[in-house]
Structure 1
Amino acid sequence: MSTVSIPWSEGSWTHEPVRAEVDGQDLLVTASEGSDAWRTTSYGFVHDSEHALLRPLDPDRAVEVTFTVAFTDQFDQAGVFLRASPTQWVKAGVEFVDGVPCVGVVATRDRSDWSAFPVPDWAGRRVTVRASRTGDAVTVRAKVEGEPFVMIRVLPLDEDLAVEAGPFVCAPTRPGLTVRLHAWRVTPADATLH
């Protein structure tokens, strides 16, 4: 199977953003203040208000989202969201943490965990995040424009689960975050880990 570009109109929002408008090939998404996805761990709260534009993702396929990292406020974020249920999901992307863009993953099965790594040179640039479903795993890779993909994380996901996937945007701490999404693709899953 080859790579397929997904039209923005093919997805359904988990939660409608303040605004989503097509600009040429891009989709501009303005997030609601306080939008986020998190379950319990450390903070003690459940946030289920992310703006994720999803469609079914078959096993042995990958989803890619390309966007510009133009973040300025704590926890501004965008990337790829995979959702099996309200209590089992994955968000992978770039998040603005303590003044620096960080590439990371939140993997949730009843409770969330979070991994993040600073990527200060990604600020203001186009980034692509890819999540591949193969067997009982999801492999997350990311790259900045003009560079190769790097592996970010491997995490378990039951191969029998029905999963929806696509781009997401969240603005946990402020109003007015608009993210420019450039592309949404479904591709063959990565054949190997390395």
Structure 2
Amino acid sequence: MPESDIIPWSEGSWTHAPAHLASDGDHLDATAVEGSDAWRHTAYGFVHDTEHALLAPLEVGEAMDVSFRAPWDGQFDQAGVFVRTDDEHWIKAGVEYADGHLGLGAVVTDIRSDWSVGYVDDWHGSEITVRVSRWPDAVIVRARADDGEWRLVRVAPFDGEGTASAGPFLAGPTRSELVVRFTRWTRSTADVALH
């Protein structure tokens, strides 16, 4: 992967403030508000726009990596990277604990949300890194556990003309005790190939 620059936690702006934040400079511990989530319409019939996303500009040709750890024991606990143009156009990519399994996937929202997910139960206890690369017409999502191989998660259409921002996110739809430790946030050059 290309060389990367560390993004200070203070550089981003929250879409919705977490219940609690603590940092020693190296890591950022964020506690989700109970009921926080991001979803629009599809299948469930509701709109949730209460996620906690710490966002900084993401230009075409750039990538962002976010690394984190969490206990993954509450229904729908989630964390990863959020990429946002506006309230109706965004992507959340990362892991979510649901129905006893840890899932790696992405929700791509263009007025309505979709969802793709696959189990990564063996990632419990690992430091997880999610990487988003912004291309002129797409966002490429990759992820890995610890120092493992990068795994392609999603190739999603995304408007290259619009202004976008991205960064760490978490949500706790069903409980108030989810604490995610974000260990790294970096910006680098976007991946140039899918394979």
Task: Give the TM-score normalised by structure 2.
Answer: 0.97
Please list the CA deviations of residues 71-90 of structure 1 after superposition, one character each: whole Å capped at 9, or x if unmatched: 10111000000000000000
- Report what 2:49 is aligned to: 48
- Report what 1:151 is aligned to: 152
Whole-Å separation in 1 of the counterparts to 2:126 and 2:24: 18
Q: Which amino acid aligns with 2:110?
A: R
- Extract structure 1 runs of 4+ deviating beyond 3 A: none
Q: How large is the RMSD of aligned CA atoms in angstroms?
A: 1.0
- Report what 1:92 is aligned to: 93
Whole-Å separation in 2 of the counterparts to 1:12 and 1:24: 16
Whole-Å separation in 2 of the counterparts to 1:136 and 1:24: 35
Whole-Å separation in 2 of the counterparts to 1:34 and 1:135: 34
1:1-194 matches, cutoff 5 A = 2-194=3-195
Whole-Å separation in 2 of the counterparts to 1:24 and 1:158: 34
Q: Which amino acid aligns with 2:99?
A: D
Please list the CA deviations of residues 1-60 of structure 1 after superposition, one character each: whole Å capped at 9, or x if unmatched: 841100000000000000111035110000000000000000100000000000111111
Unmatched segments (≥5 aa) in structure 1: none
Maintained 8 Å contact 1:77/1:93: yes
Whole-Å separation in 2 of the counterparts to 1:124 and 1:171: 18
Deviation, 1:69, is 3.7
Whole-Å separation in 1 of the counterparts to 2:145 and 2:3: 22
Maintained 8 Å contact 1:69/1:127: no
Q: Secondary structure at the match of 2:122?
A: helix
Maintained 8 Å contact 2:54/2:168: yes
Whole-Å separation in 1 of the counterparts to 2:160 and 2:176: 37
Maintained 8 Å contact 2:83/2:92: yes
Maintained 8 Å contact 1:65/1:130: yes
Whole-Å separation in 1 of the counterparts to 2:93 and 2:194: 17
Q: Which amino acid aligns with 1:175?
A: S
Q: Percent identity?
A: 51
**Size of the alignment, in residue pairs?**
194
Q: Which amino acid aligns with 1:76?
A: D
Deviation, 1:134, is 1.1
Maintained 8 Å contact 1:69/1:122: no
Maintained 8 Å contact 2:70/2:179: no
Q: Secondary structure at the match of 2:128?
A: strand
Q: Which amino acid aligns with 1:165?
A: A
Deviation, 1:135, is 1.6
Q: Secondary structure at the match of 2:115?
A: strand
Whole-Å separation in 1 of the counterparts to 2:152 and 2:192: 13
Unmatched segments (≥5 aa) in structure 2: none
